[in-house]
Amino acid sequence: MAQRKDRPLRHFLTLLDLSTEEARALIDRALVLKRLQREGTAYLPLQQRTLAMVFEKSSTRTRVSFEAGMAQLGGHALFLSPRDTQLGRGEPIPDSARVLSRMVDAVMIRTYAQDTIETFAAYSQVPVINGLTDRFHPCQLLADMLTYQEHRGPICGRRVAYIGDGNNMCHSYINAARLFDFELRIACPPGFEPDDELLAANGDRCHLSHDPATAITNADLVVTDVWASMGQEDEERERRQAFAGFCIDRALLTQANPEALFMHCLPAHRGEEVSADVIDGPQSVVWDEAENRLHAQKALLEFLLVGPPPGQV
């Protein structure tokens, strides 16, 4: 099904597919959609619309939030594992994109290489959403920005500490620093730094060190991720040794702003990247952050497929 002619074809492959104004409006809109959901107000702009969800990497939060989000907006979601598609059996990506996008209204893909989703988008007639790649995790950042704004107001001008692996979450925080205009301090073990070019392109607001204490000092938001992501299980022992000293525990968190929030995209390993008294403590907003995947992605789906009602953000 080609994109309907009343909407330009837009993809969401990285955060930078949005302008700053669009990103801020999308966060504001997610707050409205969350309120409507809490009030029990029916809002069904995606009736007769279908989202195909292609999972080459499994996930609890991504599947449930997109599937529930489509249902709450009046639409329908299809779950497609590698066993259910020709994509996992060697069909060329352009061919899969041509076929799927003639049948559905949008496609969400959770996969490994960023090239895969970019190739798929190049041949798709409908919006393509990055549900996660090894390079970026932009939907999680929408939820994180929504969560910060919900608790502390807009994140513009604030200081964020990202402590851990220079992975897809770190790359997405670098893009978020540029898009939402905040300072990002990164602390990674040697050998686990983020992409050099991405960091250099955002050097005016992103700072890299190998010292968690330096990164977290006076931070308004503290973020981490697992030390060994999906697909890196055979590196767990090596990574636990390399990341020793990068656990966000109570002593480290006290060096942040007293009002600082703690976030983690989950699943979390208590006693590794974060201590139990931090993730289960009063500064942690990880459960709101997890829920906000739903509301942020509903705003994203609405933005890509129909836009908000006239006169609303």
**Residue 208: helix, strand or coil by DSSP?**
strand
C-alpha dihedral sign at 156, 157, 162, 166: positive
Integer Cα distance of 55 and 108 in angstroms:
8
Confirm if 246 and 212 have CB atoms less than 8 A apart.
Answer: yes
Q: Is 140 annotated as a binding residue?
A: yes
Range with the lowest mean pLDDT among 17-31, 75-89, 241-255? 75-89
Kindly state whether residues 107 and 219 are assigned to the same domain.
Answer: no
Number of domain units in the chain: 2
Q: Is 62 annotated as a binding residue?
A: yes
Kindly state whether residues 63 and 106 are assigned to the same domain.
Answer: yes
Question: Domain for residue 32, yes or no?
Answer: yes
Q: Is 94 annotated as a binding residue?
A: no
Question: Domain for residue 5, yes or no?
Answer: no
Kindly state whether residues 247 and 295 are assigned to the same domain.
Answer: no
Kindly state whether residues 278 and 147 are assigned to the same domain.
Answer: yes
Kindly state whether residues 58 and 85 are assigned to the same domain.
Answer: yes
Residue 101 confidence (pLDDT) = 96
Residue 131 confidence (pLDDT) = 98
Question: Domain for residue 2, yes or no?
Answer: no
Q: Is 310 annotated as a binding residue?
A: no
Q: Is 29 annotated as a binding residue?
A: no
Kindly state whether residues 161 and 275 are assigned to the same domain.
Answer: yes
Question: Which of the residues are catalytic?
Answer: 110, 137, 140, 225, 265, 293
The overall average pLDDT reported for the chain is 94
Q: How many CB atoms lie within 10 A of CB 282?
A: 8
Range of the domain at 245: 140-286
Kindly state whether residues 169 and 239 are assigned to the same domain.
Answer: yes
Q: Is 137 annotated as a binding residue?
A: yes
pLDDT band at 229 (very low <50, low <70, confident <90, very high): confident
Kindly state whether residues 127 and 151 are assigned to the same domain.
Answer: no
Question: Domain for residue 23, yes or no?
Answer: yes
Kindly state whether residues 65 and 199 are assigned to the same domain.
Answer: no
Integer Cα distance of 74 and 114 in angstroms:
30
Kindly state whether residues 113 and 144 are assigned to the same domain.
Answer: no
Q: Is 98 annotated as a binding residue?
A: no
Confirm if 147 and 122 have CB atoms less than 8 A apart.
Answer: no
CATH number at residue 197: 3.40.50.1370
Question: Domain for residue 24, yes or no?
Answer: yes
Question: Domain for residue 66, yes or no?
Answer: yes
**Residue 57: helix, strand or coil by DSSP?**
coil
Residues facing 183 on adjacent strands: 159
Mean pLDDT, rounded, for 153-158: 98
Q: Is 59 annotated as a binding residue?
A: yes
User: pLDDT tens for residues 78-134?
Assistant: 999 877 776 656 789 999 999 999 999 999 999 999 999 999 999 999 999 999 999
In this prediction the pTM is 0.96
Confirm if 149 and 155 have CB atoms less than 8 A apart.
Answer: yes
Q: Is 72 annotated as a binding residue?
A: no
Kindly state whether residues 133 and 146 are assigned to the same domain.
Answer: no
Integer Cα distance of 220 and 258 in angstroms:
8
Kindly state whether residues 45 and 164 are assigned to the same domain.
Answer: no
Residue 84 confidence (pLDDT) = 72
**Max Cα distance, the chain (Å):** 55
